[in-house]
Structure 1
Amino acid sequence: MSGAPTPRTRNLIGRISASIADPVLRVLVLATAISRTGRGVFLTVTVLYFTLVVGLTAGEVALILAATSAAGLVTSVLAGQAADRFSARRMLIGFTAASGIGLIGYVFAGDFVSALIVAVFLGVTDQGSNSARMAIIARAFDGPERVNARAILRTVTNLAIAIGSGAGAIALAVGTGEAYRIALAGAGVVFLAGITQLVRLPARVDAPRAAGAGGGAAGDGGAAGDGADAVDDAGARDDGVDAAVDAADSADGDDTAGTASPASTARAAGAAARQRAGASTPGRSPWRDPRYLLLTLLSAVFGMQFGVGEVAVPLWIAHDTAAPEVLVSAVLILNTIVVIVFQVPLSRGTHDLRVAGRVSGIAAVLMGVACLVYAIAADGPVWWAVACIVAGALAHGFAEVLSQAGGWGMSFELADPERPGAYQGVFSMGYSLASLASPLLVNATALSMGFAGWALLAAIFLVSGLGLAAVGIRAARP
């Protein structure tokens, strides 16, 4: 049997290799490959480290995870706003360094309080890094290149985490406290090594100086954003600029030529009009953008599908089906393969709002089907349970890939180009909220109610996914 790579594998390698040609993406790919390998080690050992080495109960572990998600929820917004005012490069480097130190800090966590402090610290630094990275991508790339960059980075992330998970499995096999601590310390050191690449990011990925020239308005949301809007309403911009901005906010269109869509082009034109008029307040606050807030909310609801894969499916397999527990690992591997192979090709064209809407609708149907197929795995022998879980995992994997692609496209195209950090911070906040709520949701539905709970989950994902489809398709209308 030949060991030669398949055409699809060669295409995948070619796409990742081609990304190295862009200096910004090259840095992000290499830094991600390094740091996420450490992350893979951490993800493999952390829960068992809490329970077997630190001695925490399952309830205490759940509380730590919830607190971590809550910290990330707040940080994603604040860090996104800061990335519009300060250097996103320095923020990313700083948060990455802090994350590496935090991972090493787990070695010294000996009780619930110390583990909670370290976990919350890591929740802050991880979301801070993500918000800064999203702002960098939004500034460094346009149209299809932005979605392609996200897809490539997600592919590299999954590859790196898979490698790190293999390394972390060594600690699990040894099973001693020292092995766990060495693994966590090593994960932190590897994470820190990613900084060697991040320092090479060019200055052009930072916000223009003019964006921060207006005092607190440049990076502030909430009340500060209200003040910025009040300045606009008071007539700080002339009527011609207002017209350009209004046209930018409402412009839609299709993009079949592989360039920026008319919507994003018009927004950029509005931004340029503001700058020519000498406006001191950059862009629009995402908190004053109802369409973007709706996008964030629907994405957060659909994003709870990650909780299905991480919490509901493993416990469903172990306690409610005849399938062997080793199937949990097989499902994780299957999901990783689907993401690695299909994320980049299935993300093509989703900078077009119509395409982003369509793939979100397909993801909704696939996720609904996945939930129902998972549910019927409980009613049958081993072969039936295995077949249903694998089929459900395949549908789930493609739903995840398509929903991510559609969400990225809409989150970039519907954002104000002058405030990419603030907009991406708000969008990331939605996923932090999903991470916080999903364990509670799946426990209250699928794990407590059986088939009825799975059917309720299917309805939730179908409605939220079709809602996302409607947002994208409607925004693309002339």
Structure 2
Amino acid sequence: MTAPNRSRPASRPWVVVVHDTATTLRPADPVAAALTTSAMAASFSNGVFYTVSALFFTRVVGLGVGQVGLGLTVAGAVAIAASFVAGHTADRIGAPAVLVTTTASQGLALLAYPTTATLTTFTLVACLAVASKAAQGTARAAVLAHAFTGADRVLVRARLGVVINVFTGVGTVCGGLALLADTKVGYILAILGSGSSVLISIWPLLAIRGQLTARARDDEAYAAMPASHSGPSPLHDRCYLAVSGLNALLAMHAGLLTVGVPLWITEHTSAPTITVTLVLLLNTALVVVIQTPMARRIHGIRRSARAVHLAGLTLALACLVYSASAVTSSTVAVVMLLSAAVLHTLGEVTAEIGSWGLAFDFAPTSSAGAYQGVNHASVAAGAMLAPLVITTTALTHGAIGWLVLAAIFISAGTATLLVVRGRQLPQGVTTGVR
């Protein structure tokens, strides 16, 4: 297998940053390059969609806020199942085929949103769109599991994360143009542009199947691999199931940032509303800067487990600082919220890198799809649970609620470390454990 370039020039910091950026945006490995190019278009689509979707659903489609929430909740539940099914399907027909198919179905679903006029049609289209996106995550992880080994899997995934953040930001800015226009036509064009961008992202993915086939012929480990459907099932791997379940709790950090923190700032602190934008921009910038360097340092099962443990502690500390921001002056509140955002981002990046490492390193290559399906189902579950958990804890009960959230993060991180400790690699895993 072709390993991605992990070396950096020993020079001034700005030279290192430029080198890392160039390597991230234009990787030498053909599989990584295809995934990166596709991620640019798909993430641009996400940014546009996230920006305009709420107003599109309420003002153009004509749904109530409660109806939108109900439809998306149902779609989130379907996405959990889709993540799992996509993994098993990837092991049978190949991860590249699943990735292309689910990307196409998501793009078509987005294009269908303007045709929805009732709660039923909206929910059906939302189920297809959200489930397809969740299945893509599983298929992409399975591709990485087959194309790379050891620490390179996490490094490539981290670089993809940087690309996703950058181009989601670009899409957000472009989606803002539709908000400025604030017209029905503008919102419809934004949604159609989002769907078209997803369909464009399919083109680079078409070459991946051939690349993996070529590597299989050249790699002795691949040549000796048993038939894809004959690998062990993750449903019989209690350690993996436990780690994935705990990951669902840690994965709520994303919902905390996008749902909990904005509502906390505007309803419970004296900080100006613009602080919401500052927090989100700070998070995006920090992820872009630190994710790849941290991925180089977190590899192997032991380090990944320790990273998840540390992430739980860091996220808990962020919760405490968020909580304290409610009882200070406006200026101090802004400083505390930005400080909490830094801690939150450090916890987010550390949790993601650690969980990627565990998900890859514990999964036999012959069952990569099924194992990644379980892992991504846990992420989807966390995304579905986050709004409910956050609103019923921090946003309802203030400081006590924040303490509950902090306890959840600490418990999930600590339990992950305890579960992983002493765990033996399953047969068929091809990774370097440090």
Same fold (TM over 0.5): yes
2:20 maps to a residue whose letter is: L
Secondary structure of the 2:327 match is coil
Alignment of 1:14 with 2:15, yes or no, is no
Alignment of 1:77 with 2:84, yes or no, is yes
Aligned-partner Cα distance in 1 for 2:48–2:61: 17
Aligned-partner Cα distance in 2 for 1:289–1:204: 30
1:9 maps to a residue whose letter is: V
Alignment of 1:23 with 2:30, yes or no, is yes
**How far off its partner does 1:422 sit?**
0.3
Equivalent in the alignment of 1:307: 255
Aligned-partner Cα distance in 2 for 1:287–1:94: 25
- Range with greater deviation from structure 2 (105-114 or 382-391): 105-114
Equivalent in the alignment of 1:41: 48
Contact 2:304/2:353 (<8 A) preserved: yes
Equivalent in the alignment of 1:241: none
Aligned-partner Cα distance in 2 for 1:143–1:91: 23
Aligned-partner Cα distance in 2 for 1:42–1:390: 26
Select which of 277, 280, 290 maps to 1:342: 290
Equivalent in the alignment of 1:246: none
Secondary structure of the 1:84 match is helix
Deviations 1:317-364 (A, max 9, x none): 111111111211211111111111111111124331111122112211
Contact 1:135/1:420 (<8 A) preserved: yes
Select which of 58, 62, 76 maps to 1:51: 58
**How far off its partner does 1:7 sit?**
4.3
Equivalent in the alignment of 1:142: 149
Contact 2:228/2:367 (<8 A) preserved: no
Aligned-partner Cα distance in 2 for 1:296–1:338: 26
Pairing of 1:269-288 with structure 2 (within 5 A):
275=226, 282-288=230-236
Equivalent in the alignment of 1:130: 137
- Range with greater deviation from structure 2 (416-425 or 116-125): 116-125
CA 206–322 in structure 1, closer or farther in 2 if over 3 Å, else same: farther
**How far off its partner does 1:48 sit?**
1.8
Equivalent in the alignment of 2:348: 400
CA 13–281 in structure 1, closer or farther in 2 if over 3 Å, else same: closer
Contact 2:92/2:229 (<8 A) preserved: no
- Range with greater deviation from structure 2 (158-167 or 47-56): 47-56
Secondary structure of the 1:188 match is helix
Alignment of 1:326 with 2:274, yes or no, is yes
Deviations 1:406-458 (A, max 9, x none): 00001011112210000000110101111111111001100111000001100
Equivalent in the alignment of 2:204: 197
Deviations 1:34-79 (A, max 9, x none): 1211121011111121223223222212212211211110000111
**How far off its partner does 1:110 sit?**
2.5
**How far off its partner does 1:182 sit?**
0.5
Alignment of 1:376 with 2:324, yes or no, is yes
Aligned-partner Cα distance in 2 for 1:334–1:408: 23
CA 206–473 in structure 1, closer or farther in 2 if over 3 Å, else same: farther
1:400 maps to a residue whose letter is: E
1:415 maps to a residue whose letter is: A
Equivalent in the alignment of 1:156: 163
Identical residues among aligned pairs (%): 35
CA 84–381 in structure 1, closer or farther in 2 if over 3 Å, else same: same
Aligned-partner Cα distance in 2 for 1:208–1:346: 28
**How far off its partner does 1:109 sit?**
2.1
Aligned-partner Cα distance in 2 for 1:280–1:153: 26
**How far off its partner does 1:94 sit?**
1.4
Contact 1:322/1:382 (<8 A) preserved: yes
Equivalent in the alignment of 1:63: 70
Aligned-partner Cα distance in 1 for 2:13–2:187: 35
Aligned-partner Cα distance in 2 for 1:136–1:386: 42
CA RMSD in angstroms comes to 2.4
Equivalent in the alignment of 1:107: 114
Equivalent in the alignment of 1:165: 172
Secondary structure of the 1:120 match is helix
Deviations 1:257-285 (A, max 9, x none): xxxxxxxxxxx79x95x84xxx9972211
Aligned-partner Cα distance in 2 for 1:324–1:66: 30
Select which of 358, 361, 378 maps to 1:410: 358
**How far off its partner does 1:8 sit?**
5.6
Select which of 96, 99, 120 maps to 1:92: 99
Contact 1:31/1:198 (<8 A) preserved: yes
**How far off its partner does 1:177 sit?**
1.2
Secondary structure of the 2:407 match is helix
- Range with greater deviation from structure 2 (454-463 or 103-112): 103-112
Aligned-partner Cα distance in 1 for 2:396–2:303: 37
Deviations 1:193-216 (A, max 9, x none): 11121112143537999xxxxxxx
Aligned-partner Cα distance in 2 for 1:155–1:395: 18
Select which of 389, 394, 408 maps to 1:460: 408
2:198 maps to a residue whose letter is: F
Secondary structure of the 1:475 match is coil
Secondary structure of the 1:132 match is helix
Contact 2:271/2:330 (<8 A) preserved: yes
Contact 2:244/2:374 (<8 A) preserved: yes
Aligned-partner Cα distance in 2 for 1:11–1:463: 38
Deviations 1:301-325 (A, max 9, x none): 1111111111111111111111111
TM-score, normalised to structure 1, is: 0.82
Aligned-partner Cα distance in 1 for 2:40–2:404: 38
Aligned-partner Cα distance in 2 for 1:10–1:442: 38
For these two proteins, the number of residue pairs brought into alignment is: 412
Unaligned runs of 5+ in 2: 1-11, 425-432
Aligned-partner Cα distance in 2 for 1:154–1:428: 15
Secondary structure of the 1:110 match is coil
Select which of 366, 374, 377 maps to 1:429: 377
Contact 1:83/1:207 (<8 A) preserved: no
Aligned-partner Cα distance in 2 for 1:333–1:92: 30
1:64 maps to a residue whose letter is: G
Deviations 1:212-252 (A, max 9, x none): xxxxxxxxxxxxxxxxxxxxxxxxxxxxxxxxxxxxxxxxx
Greater Rg by CA? 1
